Structure 1
Amino acid sequence: MPRVDDDLPSGLPPEEFSARIFGTAEPRTGRGLELAPFRGVRFVPGVAGDLASVTMPPYDLIDDAAAMRLLAGGGHNIVRLNLPRAAGESYGTAGERLRRWLDEGALATDPDPALYVYEAARDGTVLQRGLIGAVGLRAESEGVVLPHENVFPGPVRDRLALMTAADANLEPIFLLYGGGGDAARVVDGAAAEEPLTEFRADDGLTHRLWRITDPSAHARVAADLHDKRALIADGHHRYATYRALQARRHAAGDGSGPWDSGLALLVDSTRYPPHLGAIHRVLPDLRPSDAIEQARKVFRVTDFLDEADALEALADAPRPAFLLGGDDVLHLLTNPDPDALSRSMPSEHSARWQRLDTAVLDHLLIGDVWDVPETEDAIEVVHDDPSAAIARARRTGGTAVILNPLDVDDVLAVAGEGERVPRKSTSFGPKPRTGLVLRLLGPEAGPVAREARRER
């Protein structure tokens, strides 16, 4: 079998790397959108501990400080599987730990294949409800599972190394589809029963899980989804990892198998519209004084001393607009110079794409005005929270760029036309809690599997 890096091209720009991963040439399956039942692996509270203490937000929302807090709690927190490097451990160690937790009974495999209904609520109000299952992987050319952002090689290699070592999908990606059909009735019918799991986490949300094992319900879901298509709301790098693993296993002659699908939460956006937040930037090596001096050459600049007033002005400003922070003053950038804007935007993209705030940020501000390389070291991201981004910039002596959220219709329209919004443009939520349901790719856990591991 090839090494982890051998089948992932390196040195490519994000756009070309995304095309290689998402657009891998394959025969068209003609099967449409599929979400298959599987035997979920779940924590056993009596052994592992309270579910609020062993689950976590998605891995890419966990910074170093949050990871250390989770690790300090000890025990069976899934951070020890999903982010082992935070504890200075290898991915091989994480895979061994997963199998040890199965042997010890901290994790257990459900007896029957199931679809799982997941719900997130705040103060009795349902914010999100959808189905967790194994989504069939499709080439982008089939128009079934649509990405809307590019991916970078580094995070895909990282997740592929972990997925290979664990031989498991450790957290679901987040998909949206326009439904309102029979699948939604199956979901709401299951949610009317007593939940399998219910707990309130430190994110302020109550998380609930139900299990659907009835084959007739599975058939109703399959029939309803067949002609639908789904948008990747969150988890582009993980979906790209699913595709890379699938391509590797097929190239190795392994044929069809569990690697032809990946763990996903599928939400009917007509029933439970998602929240779309912004992803703010922090440029730690760009001093605020230098940033604003250069920005004044192509933007109108309005200064604010009060953060609340500045954020309100940003929300009301004509697009594109940005708020710069990092020193004692906040600077609102509006009305970019039309000639500078026209020169900076890639001509191959549609007019709708060129109007996106994140496109203007990447090409006019970050690329042309500031000449900052598009790397993870030079550009950090903060989901949703502008105050946290501004505070991080002040700690590092760098510059924060606060954005308005993109419009959902723009994201859907861009994806539907085969384009992708710039990387880190959207923060859809609420995101599914990591650790509620895992999916094994190897032999199912159980007495026979445990005995086989002992014999090895």
Structure 2
Amino acid sequence: MARVYPFRALRYNPSLVRLEDVVTQPYDKITPAMQQAYYQRSPYNLVRIILGLPELFDTEQNAGKDADIYTRAARDFQDWRKAGILSRESEPSIFAYSQRFSVPGKPDLVQERRGLIALGELYDYEQKVVFRHEQTLPKPKSDRLNLLRATRAHFGQIFMLYSDPGLSVESLLFQSTAAPDIEVTDEYEVTHRVWRVSDPAVINFVTTALEDKKLIIADGHHRYETALNYSHERAAQAATAPIERNADKLPQPPYPEAAVMMTFVNMDSEGLLILPAHRVVHGLKGFSPAAWLQRAQTYFEIEPLAGADPSEHLARLEATKDKTAFVAVTADGSSLLTAKPDAAAAILDKFSQRQRQLDVVQLHAVILEELLDLTAESIREQGNLRYLRDASEAIAQVQEHEADVAFLVKAVALDQLREVAFAGETMPPKSTDFFPKLLSGLTIYALD
């Protein structure tokens, strides 16, 4: 049973700040250049809390003291609340959330994705209510847990998928013609609109409608697992605390840490877009493109590609249709690698049949681990690997000698993701890139 709750959100005060100046992309999508730009945009930009810049005396020994990014985040968060920059809603609410965007690479193709912002109860995966589809990395989880402990707040939403072919929830939430409470356009020209819904009858209908749903994490695996771990940390203490009931008898979590802020999106509705996450490998000792391609011939048909135009490379890759294929870019040029049937059967034997069909699984198992000798631990720690949405940037890093080889990949299909998740299996980290991202700072869930 998926338990969903309204909450008294903290929101930026529009009379004191301009929303465009303070909201951000999710922390793991903020590049160093974006981080600097956010800092310059406003002294109240959320980046100062969710991804603060280190200062001169920041060290592990100073953790928990003034010279510590997490302590500064907690201090700023409290100061902004006291100053009224952030103010809490007077009554529990849920929020209808619309994102209107042009598909990357296809500016004339405009789509809209609709969802619902609310609290969702945290479940261990073994309970088979919430399902993951990707493996997680230890460093991001440690970082997010430190921030959560310091601030006791969730600043962005976990992106959750559910199935509702009848579109009952969004039909109810988006029937109003009222102006949105929030409207902001981000740096990717995505227009985000949010409507607050506080009618107890609507809230009860929505929370009841979602009770029988199974949820798949689309984005936010690290933050979900961090929130789950923190919930377990606090469970014993919370069990002795009195539960406060709201006047309208609306559902609420058993204790604040038992839930996290989520955006629920119906996977049966329009507007869901998954982009590929290209792989860039760097720091390889003695890497020889010619020798590597020679080894790759055991498992792949190799076709040299002319030039280095990313759009042409991606078009050639998409033309492979149902075959497993990648474009490999090295300092010597580009090649289309198409998997030979059954050539890697021994390597892939440890995976289920459904996983063997996934390009990203073969990329990690056959190319990264077998042919480039990267260890599973090195991949988890991101020691030699970067994940990039932009194929042009991936190619440029090779051309500028910042990387040894880049692999352009096809996107994972939604049906593939659903099948893997509901089977209780996981794909490699960063296998999917849902576009657009959910903005951080539209609503905030403070645990205190």
2:417 pairs, out of 380, 397, 411, with 411
Which residue number corresponds to residue 392 of structure 2? 387
Q: Deviations over 1:380-418 (max 9, x none)?
A: 1113x2112212333304211110001211110111111
Determine if the alignment matches structure 1 residue 377 to structure 2 residue 383.
yes
**Counterpart selection for 1:428 from 430, 434, 439:** 434
Note the C-alpha offset of 1:152: 2.1
Residue in 2 that maps onto 1:438: 444
d(CA) in 1 for partners of 2:288 and 2:24? 34
Q: Tell me the equivalent position of 2:263.
A: 265
2:248 is aligned to: none
Q: 2:339 aligns with which of 318, 330, 335?
A: 335
CA pair 107-243 structure 1, distance change in 2 beyond 3 A: same
The answer for the alignment partner of 1:153 in structure 2 is 138
CA contact (8 A) 1:78 1:435 kept: yes
Partner of 1:174: 159
Is residue 4–residue 120 contact of structure 2 (8 Å, CA) maintained in 1? yes
Deviation at 1:206, TM superposition (A): 1.1
Structure 1 residue 125, shift from structure 2 partner = 4.9
Does residue 316 in structure 1 map to residue 284 in structure 2? no
For residues 328 and 71 of structure 1, the distance between their equivalents in structure 2, rounded to whole angstroms, comes to 39
Alpha carbons of 1:172 and 1:291: their partners in 2 closer, same or farther (altered >3 Å)? Answer: farther
In structure 1, the partner of 2:173 is 187
Aligned to 2:6: 37
Offset of residue 218 of structure 1: 0.7
Match of 1:368 among 367, 370, 387: 370
Maintained 8 Å contact 2:281/2:403: no
Partner of 1:136: 121
Q: CA deviation at 1:284?
A: 1.5
Q: CA deviation at 1:75?
A: 1.9
SS at match of 1:105: coil
Counterpart CA distance in 2 for 1:203 and 1:227 is 35
Cα distance, 1:254 vs structure 2:
4.7
Paired residue type of 1:394: Q
How big is the shift at 1:169?
A: 0.4
| Other-structure match for 1:29 | none
When residues 125 and 380 of structure 1 are mapped into structure 2, their CA distance, relative to the original with a 3 A threshold, is closer
Report if aligned partners of 2:157, 2:263 keep a CA contact under 8 Å in 1.
yes
- How far, CA to CA, are the matches of 2:423 and 2:360 in structure 1? 18
Structure 1: distance between partners of 2:262 and 2:288? 40
In the alignment, what sits opposite 1:296?
297
Paired AA for residue 173 in structure 2: V
Q: Offset at 1:201?
A: 2.1
Identity of aligned residues (%): 28
Pair 1:92-2:77 in alignment = no
Match of 1:345?
348
Aligned length: 406
- Separation in 2 of the partners of 1:254 and 1:154? 30
Unaligned runs of 5+ in 1: 1-31, 443-456
Q: Give SS of 1:47's match.
A: coil
Letter in 2 for 1:174: F
| CA distance in 2 between partners of 1:62 and 1:292 (Å) | 34
Q: CA deviation at 1:365?
A: 0.6
Aligned partner of residue 186 in structure 1, secondary structure: helix
Q: Is 2:224 the counterpart of 1:239?
A: yes
Note the alpha carbon deviations across 1:114-150, whole angstroms, 9 max, x for none. 0011111137955211110100111222221111111
Instruction: Compute the displacement of 1:86 (Å).
Output: 5.4
Between stretches 226-235 and 80-89, larger displacement belongs to 80-89
2:233 partner SS? helix
Moved more, 148-157 or 85-94: 85-94
Q: 1:118 aligns with which of 90, 93, 97?
A: 97
Deviation track 1:322-355 (CA, whole Å, cap 9, x = no partner) reads: 111242621111133633x1121242x3101112
1:368 & 1:252 partners in 2: Cα distance? 47
- Once the two structures are TM-superposed, the CA of residue 85 in structure 1 deviates from its matched residue by 3.7
Q: Is the 8 A contact 2:11 2:86 kept in 1?
A: yes
Give the distance between the partners of 1:231 and 1:120, measured in 2 at CA.
Answer: 20
Q: Measured at CA, do residues 416 and 176 of structure 1 come closer, stay the same or move farther in structure 2, by a change above 3 Å?
A: same
For structure 2, the 5+ residue unaligned runs are: 59-67, 103-108, 241-253
**Compared with structure 1, are the counterparts of its residues 217 and 288 closer, same or farther at alpha carbon in structure 2 (3 Å cutoff)?**
farther
Matched position secondary structure for 2:175: helix
Work out whether residues 182 and 220 of structure 1, in 8 Å CA contact, stay in contact via their aligned partners in 2: no
Higher share of residues assigned helix: 1
Report whether the alignment pairs 1:276 with 2:285.
no
- In 1: Cα distance, 2:229 partner to 2:161 partner: 22
**Distance change >3 Å, CA 398–CA 272, structure 1 → 2:** same
Q: CA RMSD in A?
A: 2.0
In the aligned structure 2, how far is the partner of 1:58 from the partner of 1:392?
A: 23
TM-aligned CA deviation for residue 98 of structure 1: 0.5
Distance 1:193 1:126, change over 3 A: farther
Report how far residue 295 of structure 1 moved: 2.3
Query: Cα–Cα, structure 1 residues 170 and 346, in superposed 2: closer, same or farther, change >3 Å?
Result: farther
- SS at 1:45 equivalent: coil
TM value normalised by structure 2: 0.86
Aligned pair partner of 1:78 in 46, 50, 74: 46
- 1:209 maps to 194
**What letter matches 2:99 in structure 1?**
A
Q: What residue is the counterpart of 1:107 in the other structure?
A: 86
Does the 8 Å contact 1:146/1:231 carry over to 2? yes
Contact 1:148/1:232, CA 8 A, preserved across alignment: yes
- TM-superposed CA distance for 1:297, in Å, is 3.8
- Tell me the SS of whatever aligns to 1:189: coil
Question: Which amino acid in the other structure matches residue 414 of structure 1?
Answer: V
User: Structure 1 residues 429, 371: closer, same or farther in 2, change over 3 A?
Assistant: same
Code of the residue aligned with 1:144 in structure 2: it is V
**1:220 corresponds to:** 205
Q: 1:47 aligns with which of 13, 16, 19?
A: 16
Give the deviation of 1:269 after TM superposition: 2.0
Deviations 1:201-223 (A, max 9, x none): 22111111110001110110012
1:58-78: CA deviations, max 9, x gaps? 111112222122223342111
C-alpha distance in 2 between matches for 1:58 and 1:125: 22
SS in 2 for 1:313: helix
